[in-house]
Each structure stands twice: as structure tokens, then as C-alpha cells.
Amino acid sequence: MGKYTLSVIKADVGGWVGHSDVHPDLLAKADERMAQAKSSGLIVDYYRSKVGDDIVFIMTHQKGPDSEEIHKFCWDSFVAITEVAKKLSQYGAGQDLLSDAFSGNVKGMGPGCAEFDIDVRPAEPIIVYAADKTEPGAWNMPLYKMFADPFNTIGLVIDKGMHDGFKFRVHDLRDHKEVVFSLPEEMYDMLVFIGAPSRFVIKNVMRKSNDEIVAATSTQKLHEIAGRYVGKDDPVMIVRCQSGLPAVGEALEPFAFPHTVAGWMRGSHHGPLMPVGTADDTPTRFDGPPRVVALGFQLTQDGILGTPRDMFADRSYDNARQTALDVADYLRRHGPFEPHRLGLDEMEYTTMPEVMEKLKDRFVKAED
Ligand code: 13P
Ligand code: 13P
Ligand code: MG
Ligand code: MG
């Protein structure tokens, strides 16, 4: 079997118009760079995708995860696309490039990254998800449902390859620690943490038998890198499917419920995560509502990604979209009030600190 690394690396290097889409000239530059990477032999294959104002590189190669060569090529590509964005006065040109110089790995520099090695099976269905106007914790509930909830994934009950459950690696984004849970036995322990998705984020799901990674997410925190609000950490995720893993339909099913995530306007609001086909991945109403697209690939043993299927374009997601639009209407009517607006803890990283600073001398001791 062929062994390949699947790397998904994304960045927002300029929005068209505002934060709603990516200009075709930026996408053309991205395509040109990816074609170069393939013809030079750096990567085996690629598919260039996007969601909202984020450009997504999906690549197969044989350099392993965290490859400096691959990461540098992506970084240099985002820098080159930023130049196009500046010429076209795109909004927030270079938004996610938070450093002046590349330092070995895009992680910690702004772009999001999910990657792992795959020992490719004779048939290898893979779904790459990309979301705009939200954060990495948005994957917690769907991943939990796919790999741990029998009401979502009947395979956990009736497929003996899945019946023992899976391991989950959870990152604490605040204290920079990680912990591995084994499910179903530690389900309730894990839920204590992943139910707080702004801080605890599922990084990987692994097979119990050999710790092989079968799902990965991006977990960058832009505000921690930049020390200020620069945009949400619009995340990507890779999930391998079938034959002892969730079926493709089980991996898509969680998104039939457009759960509430943090993000939306100015990264400061809660809203429904609406599953959409790629033609509709343009967050427009109040810069939203947050969107997720899913591209399905049948990876070959030669590492070829082939043509993706646009999984959420299917009309079976129409009701989820309608629910999301109804929830968006309902939440918008709260205006600047919680729980539409994020709670104070999370506002700390957005627009709140400057207002607090301005008013701090006007706060005096209150009389009871
Ligand atoms: P402005 O301050 O440029 O209006 O930006 C707001 C915004 O879009 C936050 O990302
Ligand atoms: P992005 O994170 O997609 O750039 O959006 C930022 C924003 O402030 C939208 O209102
Ligand atoms: Mg943007
Ligand atoms: Mg974005």
C-alpha cells in the first residue's frame, strides 16, 4: 500500500468584498503555485479549495507531517497571493500572515494546518471540511458524534471494527497542554472538556488498536499569536471513512444539525454553522452565518486526490440550511446582547479591551 501524507493548509490573505469571498485573481495565483509544487515533484497531487474568504490547499506528498519544505512552500504561496490581494486592495490583505519571516512551520504563524500520514487502503474515502466565520472548537460536537455517538453512527453498534470505540486527543488551547481520552469508557470525562469548545479542542481521533490517526483538525489561535483580534481561526478538518471508520454518511450526518458556534460578525457572536455547497460558501448576512463545506475524495494508491464531490450541495441538507437561517433570524434579534454576542471571557480577545481601557477611569466604587 502507498504511504502518503495528507496536508490541508489554509489562510485568509484578503477578502472580496469585506470578509465574504476570495477574488478570482487570488485563486488563480493559488492555482499557479499549486501547479508549480506538483510539476516540481514537491507534492504528489493537490486540490485548491476555498470557503468564504479563506484559501485552502489540500495536498498529498511523501515528506511527512510538519515538513519544512511543504510548509515553506505554502507560506511563500500565501505571501505571493497577498501581493495580488494588495494590488487589488482586497480587504485585510495578508490577514492571517502574522509574521514577517517564515520560521520552519506555518503552525503558530497564522495559517491553519491539519495533516497526518495515511497508509492508503485499496479504497480510501476521505472528507475534507472547511469552515468560515468560526473557530476550531466548532469541530468538537461533529467529531464526537461521528466517532462516539451511536445515535449518529450506527457503525459503533453493528460494525465489529468500530465497536471498541476510538481515542481522542484533546488540546487545551489556553495552557498549551494535551490529553488523550479513550471512548466510550471515558466519554463523560471528555465531555466535561470538549463541551467548552473555545478552550478545549479535539485535535485527533485515533484507532484504539494502533493509535493510527483517522481524523485531524487545525487548532491555531490567531489572537494568541497576534496578541489582538485579527479574524476568527476559521478551521479545517480531515476525516477518513469506511471499513472500521465512520461511513461517509455517518461522517456527514452531524452537520444535519446546524449547531451553534462562536464567530460570525467580528468574531464576536454565536450563530448556527450552516452546511453549504461550494457555490454558497460566501458568508454575507452580518458576515455570516458561519459556513461549512465538505469535499469528498476517493484517494488512490498513487496518492491522487482526483475530483472531489461537493458533499453538502446535496438537497438532503436543505432542512439543515433552513434551520440555520431560522436560528440566524432568531439570534440576530438579540442585537448586541448575549447569548448572540459572545460572553465576556471570549470578548476579551475581540473588540472589548479597547472600550474597557477607554472607560476604566470612569468606573468608581458603587454604593449599595
Ligand atoms: P474594520 O475595523 O476595518 O471595520 O474591521 C472590522 C472587521 O471586519 C473585523 O475583522
Ligand atoms: P474572517 O475571520 O473570516 O476574516 O472574518 C472576520 C470578521 O471579522 C468577520 O466579521
Ligand atoms: Mg477575513
Ligand atoms: Mg475567514
pLDDT on residue 104: 82
SS3 of 324, please? helix
Q: How far is the CA of 183 from the centre of ligand 4 (A)?
A: 33
Question: Is 339 domain-assigned?
Answer: yes
Phi, psi (degrees; rounded to nearest 5) at 307: -80, 130
Q: Which ligand is nearest to the CA of 265?
A: 2
DSSP-assigned states of every residue in 20-62: S---HHHHHHHHHHHHHHHHTTS-SEEEEEEETTEEEEEEEES
Question: Is 25 domain-assigned?
Answer: yes
| Ligand 2 pocket, mutate which of 12, 19, 341, 349 (most atoms under 8 A from CB) | 19
Phi, psi (degrees; rounded to nearest 5) at 298: -110, 85
Catalytic amino acids?
A: 12, 229, 232
Question: Is 363 domain-assigned?
Answer: no
Structural domain count, the chain: 1
Q: Is the CB of 133 under 6 A from ligand 2?
A: yes
Q: Is the CB of 265 under 6 A from ligand 2?
A: yes
Query: In which element (H, E) is residue 320 found?
Result: helix 318-332
Grid coordinates belonging to 332: 440576530
Q: How far is the CA of 223 from the centre of ligand 2 (A)?
A: 13
Question: Is 77 domain-assigned?
Answer: yes
pLDDT on residue 349: 67
Q: Helices 24-39 and 68-87 meet at what angle, rounded to 10?
A: 150
Q: Long-range contacts made by residues 335-339, C-beta under 8 angstroms, separation at least 24? A: 339/270
Q: How far is the CA of 266 from the centre of ligand 1 (A)?
A: 7
Q: Is the CB of 283 under 6 A from ligand 1?
A: no
Considering only CA atoms, which residue is closest to atom 3 of ligand 2? 133
Max distance between CA atoms of the chain, in angstroms, equals 74
pLDDT on residue 348: 66
Question: Is 31 domain-assigned?
Answer: yes
Tell me the three-class secondary structure of 110-130, residue by residue: CCEEEEEEEECCCCEEEEEEE
Q: Is the CB of 266 under 6 A from ligand 2?
A: yes
Domain with 151, as residue range(s), is: 3-358
Q: Is the CB of 266 under 6 A from ligand 1?
A: yes
* CA of 53, closest atom in ligand 2: 3
Considering only CA atoms, which residue is closest to atom 8 of ligand 1? 266
Which parts of the chain register pLDDT below 70?
Answer: 1, 348-351
List CB-based neighbours of ion ligand 3 within 5 Å. 12, 15, 19, 53, 92, 231
Q: How far is the CA of 95 from the centre of ligand 3 (A)?
A: 7
pLDDT on residue 339: 97
Question: Is 267 domain-assigned?
Answer: yes
pLDDT on residue 100: 77
Question: Is 174 domain-assigned?
Answer: yes
Question: Is 365 domain-assigned?
Answer: no
